[in-house]
Copies of this chain bind each other. A is one copy, B any other.
Amino acid sequence: MVERLQPEIDGGRFAVKRTVGESVSITVDVFADGHDLVAGVLKYRLAGAPEGRPKAEGQGPKAEGQGPKAEGQGPPKAEGRGPREELWDEIPLTELGDDRWGASFTVTELGEYEYTVEAWIDRFGSWLRELTAKADASQDVASELLEGAELLDSLVRLKADTTSDVVSGFSRTGDVVSGFRRTDEDDDRILEIADLLRSGRPQAERVDAARDPHLRTLVAARPDRSESTTYDRVLRVTVDPVRARFGAWYEMFPRSCTSDSKRSGTFREAEARLPDIAAMGFDVVYLPPVHPIGRTHRKGRNNSLTSSAGDPGSPWAIGSDDGGHTAIEPGLGTLDDFDRFVETASHLGLDVALDIAFQASPDHPWVHEHPEWFRHRPDGSIKYAENPPKKYQDIYPFDFGSSDRPGLWTALRDVFLFWIEHGVRIFRVDNPHTKPFGFWEWCIADIKRAHPDAVFLSEAFTRPKVMRYLAKAGFTQSYTYFTWRNSASELREYLTELTRTEVMEYLRPNFFANTPDILHEYLQRGGRPAFEVRFVLAATLGASYGVYSGFELCENTAIRHGSEEYLDSEKYQIKPRNWNQPGNLKELIARVNTIRRDHPALQQNATLRFHGSSADALLWFSKKSGSDLVFVAANTTPHDMQHGWVEVPIHELGIAPDAPYVVEDLLDEATYMWRGAWNYVRLEPAERMAHIFVVRHPSVSRHP
């Protein structure tokens, strides 16, 4: 029996996620009736075209010429390969106890991998165990030796039935996987031993020949898999680029890149901001929608219902006479200007991420060209967006159940493809939870077949299960509740859910410290220390994190008490700033982003551990990757000093209880002499809100 293969999401309905170079470690129950020994392999392969897989619900039509690229294909099917249709790579299972077995493989290519487990009765091993038990009890084993000779003959005969000469039974040494190779010489050697077992030589000599470890090795390459059992599902891994796992995002409105708040900044002007952003160490520059903005019911400053002349409107009210989702707002420049912006960013090591919001202003060309793509009221007018009693008259949602569903879905999919053609690979998707799950599952899978390097960030702030489902349905990354998790206990609980449950297999959090929609009360009231600690927490708890511009200036004025909206929000007006004004956080940001790049431990979330802390508000955690180990201490109360004792797992680090060791704060290179498991930490808001420590000790080497 082969059961409970992990990781597996919803019975294999959804793929787990990895980035290139990561490994998939599986565990599985393998057992048989009776007393025979079992053996098995983890089987994996790069998947080919997805025919025969479960279809996405509500699957839309496929666009012409969007077939999978060659990289996404499995190896071609070999002729005469026997009953198995395509070649799998195989890794032997290792027994973990209690009939649980494990193995792991590394994904090296973008796209999709498949994996499953095959196991069988280890006939030779079972026979050898029986022979050994009897021989050790000085019993006559003449009959058993004859059985063994027959078994060896049959295993050599089996080989003749297959064409592959590299078979299961891989040996793994470090990172080198080498298949046992069957040779005719080995076959001859096995047959020789079979002849010896049935010969008239003394039993002791024959038993010794059977027990020879070299025979075990030869036979391991020839298992009898004719009655093997394969796990009844083939599971999938989506392999994304490293940026899907690790990246620092900076959100900015290019139109604010101007010295004149009455005129939209242009992409040309925004280019001039990029070196500063790169110098802060960000990896991704993320832009709100860059498309023409509607005029009808345009919102004025601070979300007022009427706009004044010169008000630029909300970038999310997409579409005007100048075009829709594949056009550029004229105030920002031209498509050529956009291309140049992307290119300049790229030279600075910055990826550009675009916000894709599937909704239209009443002036969007599609409103006239495709009225059937929208919902209508009984009087025939198009329904605008609402969240009763709130009304959004400047926005029409699409009707995803439109009578022309194929036309609408394909057009929306093609919006992504258009921007991919213009060099964009990262998309932040606006409110995906208000569109059908089935649309996203189809759309993302369809795009990733040709563009497995595309990254989709789900901007859904809704119920936990809906957010998780969007991640399962295909989103590469997900916004989270991080902005609303400010106390140490909230963070411990939330991060444990994200990193210690099945959720971590498919939902990659992207921790934004603020957004144009969310200025949390914690930042409104906590002053600069609040910004410092929230930045350090986002950047160290989250391998992916982001800030919305203005964060580095500690902008913290809300439109009114009790609201998370910014006063004079950039969503409705142009907002030039002095990026070097006193008190800015640019040095801290640059420092932390450098630490992130230097330390693989901070480039993933899987190893996050919270350790003991004597003060509840003093958060103390670590991340580890290979030999790289980073500890973070953070004061989560910006108005109060926190101090207390924090626990270092010195036993795991090989540090003796009475041995001194040094910890270095990577933020200021200060060093502290510590001893024993519990050591004292004091975080005074006026001085610092956090430490990022590495341990200096002979057994703990600093990366690299």
- Closest Cβ of chain B to A476, distance in Å, is 18
Residue of chain B at shortest CB distance from A232: B13
Stretch at the interface among A305-313, A430-438, A556-564, A594-602: A430-438
Contacts of A83 in B (CB 8 A): none
Which A residues between 370 and 426 are near B, CB-CB below 8 angstroms? 377-379, 386-389
Contacts of A146 in B (CB 8 A): 377-379
Copy tally for this chain in the complex stands at: 2
- Closest Cβ of chain B to A150, distance in Å, is 7
> A133–B99 Cα gap in the complex (Å)?
57
Contact A139/B434 with A1-B469, A31-B466 known, Cβ cut-off 8 Å: no
Contacts of A134 in B (CB 8 A): 388-389
Residue among B129, B133, B136, B464 making CB contact with A98, cutoff 8 Å? B464
The reply to whether A465 and B31 form a contact with Cβ atoms under 8 Å apart is yes
Q: What is the interface residue range for chain A against chain B?
A: 35 or more
The reply to whether B99 and A437 form a contact with Cβ atoms under 8 Å apart is no
Residue of chain B at shortest CB distance from A8: B11
The reply to whether A466 and B33 form a contact with Cβ atoms under 8 Å apart is yes
> A99–B467 Cα gap in the complex (Å)?
12
Contacts of A434 in B (CB 8 A): 33-35
Contact A143/B377 with A1-B469, A99-B466 known, Cβ cut-off 8 Å: yes
Which A residues between 4 and 51 are near B, CB-CB below 8 angstroms? 4, 10-11, 13, 29, 31, 33-35
The reply to whether A147 and B465 form a contact with Cβ atoms under 8 Å apart is no
Which A residues between 120 and 162 are near B, CB-CB below 8 angstroms? 129-130, 133-134, 136-137, 139, 143, 146-147, 150
Residue of chain B at shortest CB distance from A12: B11
Contacts of A53 in B (CB 8 A): none
- Closest Cβ of chain B to A133, distance in Å, is 4
> A3–B146 Cα gap in the complex (Å)?
55
Residue among B4, B98, B433 making CB contact with A33, cutoff 8 Å? B433
Residue of chain B at shortest CB distance from A470: B33
- Sorted nearest first, the 10 A-B pairs with minimum C-beta distance are A137-B389, A133-B388, A146-B378, A11-B11, A99-B465, A143-B377, A130-B388, A134-B388, A34-B434, A31-B465
Known: A3-B10, A35-B387, A137-B388. 19 other contacts (CB 8 A): A3-B469, A4-B10, A11-B11, A33-B433, A33-B435, A33-B436, A34-B435, A35-B434, A99-B466, A129-B388, A130-B386, A130-B388, A133-B388, A134-B389, A136-B389, A137-B389, A143-B378, A146-B379, A150-B378
